[in-house]
């Protein structure tokens, strides 16, 4: 990926967009990029969350607005952003460790936080509905021993790095 060329793609707000987003990462970075697996996992988690929560509470037959996936290199970091036009009132958050262990879902942002070293967040699109959730991961990740918190490792999660 050329650092001067950020990438952006619009995706439908549908579950099928998760695999398409992973394919975009493969095309943009290539499977031989040192951060490929981590970037692919982060993108998968952020797009999944956007698909699940972006239109929370919306009923009827209105079309779901697209999501926007952005990937850019900044020095030693890859910045990943997923923007949606969601109406959910809650900000994204990492669940506490005991809940993460027992829940069927809810590990996504814990994984994103682990891979980004806590370097993630969200911003509102005020006054328009929606938000952008972003993270920055190392372009050349260290070993998984340095990246994965003990709490996640104990949950049986495997993080590439």
81 touches 51 (CB < 8 A): no
- 111-144 pLDDT, tens digit per residue, is 898 999 999 998 887 777 788 999 999 998 765 5
User: Could you report how far apart the first and last alpha carbons of the chain are, in Å?
Assistant: 18
**DSSP H helical segments within 1-158, as ranges?**
17-29, 36-53, 97-102, 108-115, 144-147, 150-154
Beta bridge partners of 69: 9, 82
Q: For each of the domains in the chain, give its residue range(s) and CATH number, in order of start.
A: 7-154 (3.30.565.10)
Residue 51, Ramachandran bin (φ over 0: left; ψ between -120 and 50: alpha; else beta): alpha
Predicted structure pTM score: 0.76
- 11-30 pLDDT, tens digit per residue, is 998 899 999 999 999 999 99
Of the chain, the percentage scoring pLDDT greater than 70 comes to: 65
Query: What mean pLDDT comes out for the span 154-159?
Result: 47
């Amino acid at each position: 990926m050329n650092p001067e060329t950020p990438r952006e793609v619009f995706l439908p707000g549908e579950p099928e967009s998760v695999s398409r987003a992973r394919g975009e990462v493969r095309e943009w970075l290539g499977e031989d990029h040192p951060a490929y697996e981590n970037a692919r996992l982060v993108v998968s988690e952020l797009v999944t969350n956007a698909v699940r929560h972006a239109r929370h509470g919306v009923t009827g037959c209105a079309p779901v607005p697209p999501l926007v996936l952005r990937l850019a290199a900044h020095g030693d970091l890859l910045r990943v952003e997923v923007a949606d036009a969601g109406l959910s009132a809650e900000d994204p958050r990492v669940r506490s460790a005991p809940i993460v262990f027992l829940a069927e879902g809810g590990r996504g942002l814990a994984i994103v936080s682990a891979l980004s070293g806590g370097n993630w967040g969200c911003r509102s699109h005020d006054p328009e509905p929606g938000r952008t959730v972003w993270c920055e991961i190392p372009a050349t990740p260290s070993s998984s021993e340095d990246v994965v918190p003990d709490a996640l490792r104990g949950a049986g999660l495997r993080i590439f790095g």
